[in-house]
Amino acid sequence: MLNWLRKVTWRLCIDEIRSRPALKPVSLEDVAEPAIRVQDSDPFLAEYLRGMVSGLPEGMRMAVLLRYQEEMELSEIANVLDVPINTVKSRLQRALAILRERISRRSGGKQA
């Protein structure tokens, strides 16, 4: 009796699925393009900053890139780097201090 009930239910489910209208395929022309961020920044400044960041020690560089380029939260960075959150905070703080000092030295002591 139970097998009979399963078969009936199974066949009714199949009939229900077949009676629904099929989904129409969507062409790529109908799909909207993903939005991109418009960057109004100076390309020379961006290249200069990229060079400054690339000169940081690896742990600091990774923390800076994940935080400011990938826009990750501190807890996410800690998980990715497999370090405590306080280590991420201190690496970011030291990295920013190094970058400020290098930029200050390079600009002749003037800070923008």
Per-residue pLDDT at 111: 53
Question: Residues 73-100: what's their mean pLDDT?
Answer: 94
Contact 111, 60 (CB under 8 A): no
Per-residue pLDDT at 81: 92
Per-residue pLDDT at 27: 76
Q: What residue ranges do the domains of the chain occupy?
A: 43-106
What is the distance between the alpha carbons of residues 53 and 39, in angstroms, rounded to a whole number?
19
What is the distance between the alpha carbons of residues 49 and 42, in angstroms, rounded to a whole number?
11
- pLDDT digits over 16-73, tens only? 888 887 777 777 777 777 666 666 678 888 888 889 999 999 999 999 999 998 889 9
pTM: 0.60
Q: Which CATH architecture has domain 43-106?
A: Orthogonal Bundle (1.10)
